[in-house]
Structure 1
Amino acid sequence: MPKEKSPSLYRKSLIAVAMTSALAGAVLANGPLSAVMPALADPVSVDGPTQPGFADVVAKVSPAVVSVRVKSDVQTTSDSGPSFFSGPGFDQLPDGHPLKRFFREFGGQDRPEGKRKRDGNRPGRARPVSQGSGFFISDDGYLVTNNHVVSGGDAYSVVLDDGTELDAKLVGTDPRTDLAVLKVDPKGRKFTYVAFGDDNNVRVGDWVVAVGNPFGLGGTVTAGIVSARGRDIGAGPYDDFIQIDAAVNRGNSGGPAFNQQGQVIGINTAIFSPSGGNVGIAFAIPASTAKQVVDQIIKTGSVQRGWIGVQIQPVTKEIAESLGLSEAKGAIVASPQADGPAAKAGIETGDVITAVNGETVEGPRDLARKVAAIAPGEKAEVTVWRKNAAKTIDLSIAAMPKNQEQAGTGQSSQQPGDGETLDDYGLTVVPSEDGKGVVVTDVDPDSDAADKGINSGDIIVTVNNKPVKDVDDINAAIKDAEKAGRNAVLLQLQTNDQSRFVALPIAKG
């Protein structure tokens, strides 16, 4: 006879059977056990590239960056209006010119917005304060800023990163590159300073950190990339700006743009802005240019540039083709200045300067920068392209005259009249009074000549560097070019004592 279970054991058995039945029912109804208690999925995770921050760079360089304050013994105007970029030549631009309208200096905070004559009836004199940025380049107090920040000032001071304000004196300026040097008396202290880097190694897309004093707010840091190189914004003959997209605003003028090694690769000097605020396009003076200028200012208080005395223009593809050059590089000499170094050395009108001291000349501005960087009195080896061959000419670099005569811009008094017509080119010409060249009296507005900018009153002096006196000389030169397989002829034009070259496509019969 089976042994009878105890009541407690019996109850446990019933509970176990019930649980087993319930679990079996759940499995039958819903599938496997895992469906009853699903496991949670892992959150989304992406192994992207690690982007370094700029905190380490900023911590090192910030003590070297200062706010520059400028005081002037003049009264401000009540109607200041916008403050435009004050680089060389901008004051002469007509109202409404796109450069004058869009390239604004970092004014407002950068410099006094306006001036007027002192009023003798008013007691005392106002001392308006303008603000910009700058940075120390030596531990004994030399610092760099923009010329347009200090322009017109009578007293200067700098505010350090820790809030200390110190008086400064102006060492010198260079309006052509918009640079200025100030000096602070160290009084026994040593300043944190930064060094210029090699901007030749800077590539489009490289990171850049801008530190400055936007809107007078004090030390402010923004970051971006180098968005372009070699920008010409029409500010002067040595334009070669680095374009950056870091947020740069009024008051950043004179402030440094750093690479990730804490070296200054540019000095912020201009912005492109219809509204005066940051739109992501700013321009910085390259460190290589700034270092040359700043070193001279510290040593002598001014800047002396090399000069060879030539009027030059770009070499277009058409000009290169007409002269037999393989590349559209270099600078063509429209006219050497009388008694200038180039003329004395034998450089002629129509020569294309292709190299200076063995360094290739990319264009007119590159030539201007290369010559300007050579100290007056030094010798230079200039390579020119003349009559389908390269020629080397040695010359002595002179100092750039302080006041170079500006060529006239008056309109020619030559009126259209009877003359011989170059039908294939839409030109009517007559011999000049002095027998040198032919005068253009009429231009067909639908012709290639009109497209190239040839106007009535222009004098055609040479064709392919051969002097012309009449239409026959022009036709002969064109035929010679055709025989040589050229697609264009090079005309030397003279207007109001200014010479220029135009490549005119050869008409195909």
Structure 2
Amino acid sequence: MLNRTRLAARFTGLLLLSQVLVVRAALPDFTPLVERASPAVVNISARQAVTSRAGRVPMPELEGLPPFFREFFERSIPQNPGQPDRGRQREAQSLGSGFIISSDGYVLTNNHVVADATEIMVRMTDRRELQAKVVGADPRADIALLKVEGQDLPAVTLGKSSELKAGEWVLAIGSPFGFDRSVTAGVVSATGRSLSAESYVPFIQTDVAINPGNSGGPLFNLAGEVVGINSQIFTRSGGFMGLSFAIPIDVALDVADQLRTEGKVSRGWLGVAIQEVNRELAESFGLERPAGALVAQVLENGPAAKGGVRVGDVILSVNGQPISMAADLPHQIGALRPGKLARLEVVREGSRTTLEVAVGTLPEQGQELASAAEPEMEIDQGSKRLGVRVNELTPEQKQEWDLQSGVVISEIINGPAAMIGLRPGDIITHLNNHAINSVRTFTQVAEELPKHRSVSMRVLRQGRASFITFKLTD
């Protein structure tokens, strides 16, 4: 009986050992990759002149610490009640990562690592320190191209981020919290991820441990090719939470090439403001399912307006590439060179049509969006069905918001208008896919609204337009 027990225990142990060996055999060995690629990964130290927060005492003795620890200690210092309530100029140091893309000394990193720097030092794995200059930077993509003097420098092998798939192994090398040449690995969680509706970067999402200091460092595939630049993390604590984002290397190299040859980056632009299509909006616009980008505003005399795009159009594809989410549109259009034609498949009033738009040049940041354009004076009327009273737009209101038509809400009585959050001062330009050019038109369309079906309304509030939906029960 004892022998049987021993044999069973040995068999169980061998079985567990074989399972461990199988698992270990299935996991990749990153050692050759790290040995081959790490010499081209650099630590970047940037000095900036900053203004201390009012009442805080700068501590020069902390300057050698990584930014995360330095900021922690400075926040812990009590305010000096005798110090004047004004900022003080001091020199700060930020640490990040980067990588050499050519043997003659071009280096890629994040723009936020070197922004406003007065001095940039690049430290290599052999402890050489080289002074770098900024060739160019693109804040929209968070890319900076640096140049150091040198020949036959170690350079990374560049891959194609367009070939990445969710589930692939990837590896990051960088300097989290100032710890040089730290290696972390994980898998691609998703590709083409948008972090905002106005983002021009289709981020690679991974679960690789990325922390402050990893910014600007390379993301490698198993072939040892750079497929991304580690850029952002999603965190509630300031540390790693399994959500990290990298800029695709295809995007970064296009930006770097433009910075090197032209000194700036040009992106395609339509001149529209868009919003997501939810289930109610999809029903209102006659779509089988939520998809595409709903055009909420069209810039007068902009590329989209010249190409025939209208408010209320739902853009489903660009040059045959589907637009599943609204945030896909900036990626697709931004990747086109100004002057190129974009074939837009749109749904308009329930029917599909194709438009050709000559893409314009994306303006400076903060000037991308503008009010819409669309045509008089009547008496104050209202719609009992909607619970709202409206007036014609005054010439001053039309001029202020760059409008040709619409009605302004003067009073919320009750009913649907109150329930969907309308306010006095809101401007209604479209109702149930009809352009509203007068109080009379608004009243007529409101009286003919269908029951028990999603109805869309385009509302302009403080210059920002959006579509909202509601249902009438009587």
TM-score by length of 1: 0.74
Report the equivalent of 1:293: 255
Counterpart residue number, 2:106: 142
Question: Which residue of 189, 193, 199 corresponds with 1:237?
Answer: 199
CA shift at 1:254, angstroms?
A: 0.5
Which of 145, 154, 160 is the matching residue for 1:191? 154
- SS in structure 2 opposite 1:501? strand
For residues 191 and 454 of structure 2, the distance between their equivalents in structure 1, rounded to whole angstroms, comes to: 32
Of residues 28, 52, 65, the one that matches 2:41 is 65
**Which residue, 443, 458, 465 being the options, matches 1:492?**
458
Deviation at 1:373, TM superposition (A): 0.9
SS of match in other structure, 2:231: strand
**Equivalence for 1:320:** 282
Unaligned segments of structure 1, at least 5 residues: 1-33, 82-105, 119-125, 410-417
Superposed CA deviations along residues 220-243 of structure 1, whole A, max 9, x for unmatched, are 101122334444444952253333
| Mapped partners of 1:79, 1:236: distance in 2 | 36
The aligned amino acid for 1:191 is P
1:136–1:191 Cα contact (<8 Å) kept: yes
Amino acid at match of 2:45: R
User: 2:115 aligned with 1:151, yes or no?
Assistant: yes
**3-state DSSP of counterpart to 1:62:** helix
Structure 1 position 211 matched with structure 2 position 173 = yes
- 2:271, 2:368 within 8 Å by CA — same for their partners in 1? no
Q: Which of 108, 133, 136 is equivalent to 1:169?
A: 133
Among 450, 457, 468, which residue is 1:502 paired with? 468
Report deviation, 1:453.
Answer: 4.0
In structure 1, C-alpha distance between the alignment counterparts of 2:234 and 2:352, rounded to whole Å? 41
Q: How does 1:104-119 map to 2 (within 5 A)?
A: 108=68, 118=89
> By how many angstroms is 1:160 displaced?
1.2
Q: How far is 1:406 from its partner?
A: 7.9
Which residue, 415, 431, 438 being the options, matches 1:463? 431
Give the 3-state SS of the residue equivalent to 2:327 in structure 1. Answer: helix
Report sequence identity in percent: 37
1:402 corresponding residue in structure 2:
364
Provide the C-alpha distance between the structure 2 equivalents of 1:36 and 1:354, rounded to a whole number of angstroms: 71
Residue type at the aligned position of 1:500 = S
- Whether the 8 Å contact between 2:383 and 2:443 is mirrored in structure 1 is no
Output the amino acid matched with 1:335: Q
**Distance in 1 separating the partners of 2:465 and 2:2:** 90
The aligned residue for residue 348 of structure 2 is 386
- Give the Cα separation in 2 of the matches to 1:257 and 1:247: 11
Distance 1:384 1:75, change over 3 A: closer
Q: In the TM superposition, what are the counterparts of 1:355-374 in structure 2 within 5 Å?
A: 355-374=317-336
2:230 corresponds to: 268
Deviation of 1:167 after TM superposition, in Å, equals 1.8
Answer yes or no: is the 8 Å Cα contact 1:135–1:194 preserved in 2: no
1:159 counterpart letter in structure 2: R
Tell me the secondary structure at the aligned position of residue 297 of structure 1.
Answer: helix
| Cα contact 2:381–2:443 (8 A) shared by 1 | no
Residue 247 (1) aligns with residue 209 (2): yes
1:178 aligns with 2:142: yes
CA gap 1:374/1:230 in 2 versus in 1, 3 angstroms: closer
Structure-2 change in CA distance of 1:37 and 1:407 (3 Å): closer
Q: How many residue pairs are counted as aligned between the two chains? A: 429
Alpha-carbon deviations, 1:241-262, whole Å to 9, x = none?
3332222221111011222122
Instruction: In structure 2, list runs of 5 or more residues that go unmatched.
Output: 59-65, 76-85, 372-379, 396-403
Which protein has the larger Cα radius of gyration, Structure 1 or Structure 2?
A: 1
Shift of 1:396: 1.6
Distance in 2 between residues matched to 1:504 and 1:80, nearest whole Å: 55
Distance 1:66 1:236, change over 3 A: farther
Q: CA deviation at 1:183?
A: 1.2
Aligned to 2:30: 54
For residues 36 and 271 of structure 1, what CA distance do their matches in structure 2 show?
56
After superposition, the CA RMSD in angstroms is 3.5
CA distance in structure 2 between the aligned counterparts of 1:170 and 1:337, rounded to whole angstroms: 35
Change over 3 Å in CA distance of 1:222–1:313 after alignment to 2: same
Cα gap change, 1:39 to 1:264, in 2 (>3 Å): closer
Deviations 1:90-121 (A, max 9, x none): xxxxxxxxxxxxxxxx954899x999655xxx
SS in 1 for 2:347: strand
1:438–1:130 CA distance, 2 compared to 1 (3 A):
closer
